[in-house]
A and B are shown apart, each in its own frame.
Chain A
Amino acid sequence: MTPVTSAPPADERVGSPRLLDRLVLRPEIGALLGALLVFVFFSTVTEQFLSTGGVATWLDDASTLGIMAVAVALLMIGGEFDLSAGVMTASSALVTAILATKLGWNVWLALLVSLVFALAVGALNGWLVMRTGLPSFIVTLGTFLALQGLNLGITRLVTGTVQVSGMRSAEGYSSAGYLFASTFTIGGTSFYVSIVWWILFTVIAATVLVRTRFGNWIFAVGGSALSSRAVGVPVVRTKILLFMTTAGAAWLVGSINILRFTSVQANQGIGLEFQFIIAAVIGGCLLTGGFGSAVGAAIGALIFGMARQGIVYANWNSDWFQLFLGVMLLAAVLVNNALRRRAERVRR
């Protein structure tokens, strides 16, 4: 029975964390620092990087990658992978192109059918993963190979060659083109509309993720599917919707590509799926799910675009590009990891 002599310490739960600590908690902070670093570096090293034409070029490069990276980030936060996302961009473009040029459909109708096709493949991916309990890595690897074969087989069967072209003369091309592949001018420089799609997609995804109930479900199923099922989160529906989102984003990118380049190759998109994952990881997503950010993934894609074009502006030998990417990825992951460790110590 010793009498209390000192005043009780202040309760740490009601204190407010310092600003720096609050910043450290954000998953995209590592990517943001990286983006600033890359931006400042190439702006000082090269002349054209900051010219309006230069900015338009690297934003254009980052835009389609960014749309996919954001969708893949949502899926990864939900604890799943989609390796078929890269080839899906070519598949949806091929469906659109074949329907419009070989069957003479209106482009809008062709776009609608290829969207349905993409969503169906996405739903199939999700359903297989949930139904079999196999890792999505395995299931979507199967889809990836199957789509790759379909792309080549059907293209050659229908056209006798390995690329579909001639979109320009299809009915409804110009109106669809306005939506997906036009340019707009700001201050005398043309920017591709795909940049707007990217920003729009990122804003919608970020809002859904942190402002809606569905966003909570995404974090929950990625964090622990069992616990979230126990508290009444519709796990199956959430994950299937996430796979459909990735496929839908792939359709959007495929449509942007086919309307802008008016032709599509049967082997397009192979290998891109890893770039989407890398961009999402640089943006703070974890491979284990339950953590990450849509804005971060968009910034990850921006780093990609800036680096890809910056290396060209700097007149470096492009042979080293992949090495640079690999080192950057490792650095980003290490920074993210360090920040997260620190975040876990911060009082909230």
Chain B
Amino acid sequence: MTSTRKGLRTGPVRLGLALSGLVLLAACSGPGGDTSANTGTAAAQAPTGDLRVAVITHGSAGDAFWNVVKNGATDAGKQLGVTVDYNSDGDPGRQSTLIDNAASQKVGGIVVSMANPDALKTSIENAVKAGIPVITINSGSDKSSSFGALAHVGQEESVAGEEAGRKLKEAGKTKLLCVIHEAGNVGLNQRCDGARTGFGGAVSNLQVDINNPTDVESRIKGALQTDPSVDAVLALNPQVAVSSVSAVKGASSKAAVATFDLNADVTAAIKSGDVLFAVDQQQYEQGYLPIVMLKLYRDNANTVGGGKPVLTGPGFVDKSNVDKVAEYAERGTR
């Protein structure tokens, strides 16, 4: 043993006790307390000069879908002369820390996606209290206005799911497999529940892990082999859609694949007929529009949406319009 035994002098102990003492003396406020003191009541930014917007999403780094949102935000920033900082963290606790961080930087606006609204409530409300306009995107539309956000830009997941289910039903399908790729994401569950409503037939959910493509493909393949009567697979993410196509081929199943969201691979698969259609929520707009809205709000005190969510979807991409969309998916804007 080395001499780590030697003298942890009482320094840290005393310091700790002193700090704890400070805390006992300091004013306490309850859980979910008002931390707006962090940002003070200073006006967020003068209505002229540079506008800085922090975009904080729950996408994991390297996710194709969120990359398009990021492109939308940064393109809008370039075109309107707005500085855009993009950060993301899938963990709701750390996402709320990022919001606190933006608020303490006194940015001119915050754009935030709410996969888990309750966890972000305090941070968003504090930012609003500090005079920073907040716009929510992608998910959490039902909580948006109660948190004090200016507007919500996104797609209603259950509505989109319902439409997708209906379209599959119209295509004459009877048994649907709905593939959920993130365990903690409520929006994905809403899509599958919506699909169940719209589809009307038998729908079963399958849980896979998006971070492991091999696992995605083999699980879907397994599900198709186990139940050959499944004639439709609904993927909720373009990467899963591509895996589903391989799985369908590997299991020599007759199932049709439909998906949420687009990328270049999905458009190619729609062209070749491997994928029936894609539900497109046009997430580029979810990055682009909030920047425009924040700029309008600052320069002209305009608001958009009239208290209702601004819907960017569902749009549908199938054989009829895929060529044009494919071109845009290539450059990362669809």
Give chain A's interface residues, CB within 8 Å of chain B: 25-27, 48, 51-54, 56-57, 60-61, 64, 151-152, 161-163, 165-166, 168, 173-174, 176-178, 180-186, 188-190, 193, 196, 199-200, 202-203, 206-207, 209-211, 216, 219-220, 223, 257, 259-263, 265-268, 290-293, 295, 308-309, 312-313, 315, 318-319, 321-322, 343-344, 348
Contact = CB atoms under 8 A, between A and B. Distances in A.
Given A51-B104, A319-B62, 6 more contacts: A54-B105, A173-B31, A219-B1, A220-B1, A265-B92, A267-B184
A343 B8 contact: no
Given A291-B2, A313-B105, A261 B118 contact: yes
A189 B38 contact: yes
Contact of B184 (A162, A173, A216): A162
B253 interface: no
A261 B94 CA distance: 11
A219 B104 CA distance: 42
Interface stretch (B11-19, B155-163, B171-179, B230-238): B11-19
A152 B101 contact: no
A318 B23 contact: no
Contacts of B28: 178, 182-184, 193
Residue from the set B8, B19, B121 with the largest chain A CB neighbour count within 10 Å: B8
Contacts of A185: 26-27, 29, 37
Contact of B8 (A25, A168, A186, A207): A207
A263 B116 contact: yes
Nearest to A52: B38
B136 interface: no
6 contacts: A56-B35, A177-B30, A177-B32, A193-B23, A313-B105, A318-B61
Interface stretch (B83-91, B291-299, B304-312): B83-91
A13 to B, nearest CB: 14
Contacts of B26: 184-186
Contacts of B39: 53
B103 A152 contact: no
Contact of B4 (A186, A259, A267, A291): A291
A203 B16 contact: yes
B97 A261 contact: no
Residue from the set A163, A207, A210 with the largest chain B CB neighbour count within 10 Å: A163
Contacts, number: 190
A266 B184 contact: yes
B27 A184 contact: yes
B31 A260 contact: yes
B104 A53 contact: yes
B186 interface: yes
B104 A188 contact: no
A26 B23 contact: no
A190 B35 contact: yes
B6 interface: yes
Given A165-B118, A182-B28, A318-B61, A312 B96 contact: no
Given A184-B27, A318-B88, A199 B8 contact: no
A57 B186 contact: no
Interface string B178-189: 000011111001
Interface in B267-320: none
A303 to B, nearest CB: 16
B119 interface: yes
Contact of A56 (B38, B91, B182, B185): B38
Contact of A57 (B27, B86, B97): B97
Interface string B90-119: 011110111011111100000000001011
A318 B87 contact: yes
Contacts of A189: 37-38
B201 to A, nearest CB: 20
A307 to B, nearest CB: 13
Interface string B61-96: 110000000000000000000000111100111101
Nearest to A295: B12
Nearest to B13: A203
